[in-house]
């Protein structure tokens, strides 16, 4: 979330100072398969950089499990590393949240590469499995408190490769600043859009099995958070129907300072996502919404999170959505199954005072370490909030029958939707 404390100056105040990945990559090259180095820890020790690895899984009873490691560099201070986890059971409304300051963080551990890491509080081991139905996996063993431990193995199916938007070493990057070769900052996301998780949650000595699909994301923000974005959206839909379905989306909207005509031309939305159908990666999406252009209804590639009928929420001070509609569209990436794929997911939420499926309204500054909080509050003066929801949802999809039988007529897929809306300024 952080890079340099001050923005650079340019001789041309109207020069483009934001270069979104969603505009740099043509539709035919949106799918960039991950290389092993793409998910290695950078562990930048200087500047303002926040790097996260996050695993989300949905259990058979609908429970949502999140495990995250956060590596934060704050200017001249030594990096801060956190281990966080949130477990939410929508049936009982029980919520377990832990955030642990990590000691003796190491990446790579002896004998492993930088996709693995360890500390006094956890070990995360990446393994490759040659010629396997699941060619790579993470094994996570985390001690979050005296009464909460998690043991989780996450396996990526061979038919669902990890991806970034755009091929090559610069795939996935959105650059801030006039010169993308010498950027002021950057944002990058790399995904496993679907995986299978198994293991146990041990709470107060009682073991609960973990079994269910999910996703993994490795994200890096090379700049202060208040300079990167004013808004974020995240969607993670998972279903076991039709041989395995997932729909994920991540977007952010810049501040007014970064756009294609310099400061004052910002509020540019960058959206990336993917669709898995029949246990196969079918679609990778990337779309840019410029503030001075209307978004075409029938665009060749669509990647959208649209907030509908926002209402002022006195709890946070923001205008929060009462419904969110997510859209994915673009050319199939399945070999031999060419054609357009289109998917829509509507999530009615209700009023902010009585949200359907609300997990939490997270006061971000109340959760992050003191050093980060001081810097963010001092330089930004913001009060960021994350709205988190977990609901049953239905994904409506159309596409070539060669991707999935009956898809040309449209199918409706039932599953679980975990989604977030983040307001920063």
Neighbours of 314 (CB within 10 A): 8
Q: What local confidence, expressed as pLDDT, does residue 225 receive?
A: 78
Mean pLDDT of successive 10-residue stretches along the chain, which has 425 residues: 38 90 93 97 84 96 96 78 96 95 96 97 97 96 98 98 96 96 95 98 96 97 88 98 98 96 96 98 98 90 98 96 98 95 98 97 77 51 88 98 96 98 92
Residue 253 sits in a domain whose CATH number is: 2.40.370.10
Whether 30 is covered by a domain: the verdict is yes
Q: List Cβ neighbours of 32 (8 Å cut-off, separation of 6 or more).
A: 25, 163, 164, 165, 166, 167, 168, 171, 172
Going by C-beta distance under 8 Å and a sequence separation of 6 or more, which residues neighbour residue 64? 56, 57, 58, 86, 87, 88, 90, 359, 390, 416, 418
Establish if 31 belongs to a structural domain: yes
Q: Residue 207 falls within a domain, yes or no?
A: yes
- DSSP helix/strand/coil, 29: helix
Residue 3 resides in a domain: no
In a domain, residue 10? The reply is: no
Beta bridge partners of 424: none
Q: Does 272 map to a domain?
A: yes
Rg (CA), the chain: 20
Q: pTM for this one?
A: 0.94
Residue 1 is assigned to a structural domain of this protein: no
pLDDT of the residue at 378: 47
CB-count exposure of residue 293 (10 Å: 0-12, 13-18, 19+):
exposed
Domain-located, residue 7: no
User: Rounded to whole angstroms, how far apart are CA atoms 58 and 259?
Assistant: 37
Residue pLDDT, tens place only, 104-126: 999 999 999 999 999 999 999 99
Task: Give the pLDDT confidence of 298-353 residue by residue, as tens digits.
Answer: 899 999 999 999 999 999 999 999 999 999 999 999 999 999 999 999 999 999 99
What's the total number of domains in the chain? 1
- In DSSP terms, 50 is beta-bridged to 72, 221
Per residue in 62-82, pLDDT (tens digit) is 999 999 999 988 765 678 899
Which domain, by its residues, includes 305?
18-423
């Amino acid at each position: 979330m952080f890079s340099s404390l001050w923005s650079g100056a340019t001789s041309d105040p109207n020069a483009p100072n934001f270069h979104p990945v969603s505009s740099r990559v043509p539709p035919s090259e949106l799918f960039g398969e991950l290389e092993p180095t793409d998910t290695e820890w950078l562990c930048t020790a200087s500047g303002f950089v926040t790097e996260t690895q996050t695993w989300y899984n949905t259990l058979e009873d609908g429970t949502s499990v999140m495990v995250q490691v956060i590596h934060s560099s704050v200017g001249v201070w030594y990096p801060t590393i956190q281990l966080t986890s949130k477990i939410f059971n929508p049936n009982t409304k029980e919520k377990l949240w832990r955030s642990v300051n990590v000691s003796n963080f190491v990446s790579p551990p002896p004998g492993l590469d930088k996709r693995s890491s360890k500390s006094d509080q956890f070990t995360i081991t990446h393994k490759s499995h040659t010629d396997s139905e699941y060619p790579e996996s993470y094994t996570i063993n985390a001690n979050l408190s005296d009464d909460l431990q998690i043991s989780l193995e996450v396996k990526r199916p061979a038919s669902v490769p990890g991806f970034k938007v755009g091929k090559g070493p610069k795939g996935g990057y959105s650059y801030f600043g006039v010169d993308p070769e010498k950027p002021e900052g950057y944002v990058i996301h790399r995904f496993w859009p679907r995986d299978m998780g198994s293991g146990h949650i041990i709470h107060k000595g009682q073991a609960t099995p973990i079994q269910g699909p999910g996703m993994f994301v490795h994200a890096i923000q090379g700049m202060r958070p208040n300079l990167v974005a004013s808004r974020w959206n995240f969607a993670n839909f998972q279903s076991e129907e039709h041989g395995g379905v997932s729909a994920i989306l991540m977007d952010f909207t810049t501040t007014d300072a970064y756009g294609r005509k310099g400061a004052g031309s910002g509020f540019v939305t960058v959206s990336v996502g993917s669709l898995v159908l029949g246990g196969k990666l079918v679609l990778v999406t990337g779309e840019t919404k410029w503030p001075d252009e209307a978004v075409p209804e029938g665009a060749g590639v669509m990647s959208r999170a649209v907030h509908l009928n926002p209402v002022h929420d006195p709890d946070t001070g923001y205008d929060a959505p009462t419904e969110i509609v997510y859209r994915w569209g673009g050319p199939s990436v399945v070999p031999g199954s060419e054609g357009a794929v289109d998917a829509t997911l509507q999530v009615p939420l209700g009023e902010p005072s009585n949200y359907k499926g609300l997990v939490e309204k997270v006061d971000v500054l109340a959760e992050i370490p003191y050093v980060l909080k001081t810097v963010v509050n001092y330089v930004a003066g913001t009060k960021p909030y994350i709205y988190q929801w977990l609901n049953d949802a239905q994904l409506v999809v159309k596409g070539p029958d060669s991707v999935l039988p009956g898809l040309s007529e449209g199918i409706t897929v039932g599953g679980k939707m975990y989604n977030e809306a983040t307001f920063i300024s």
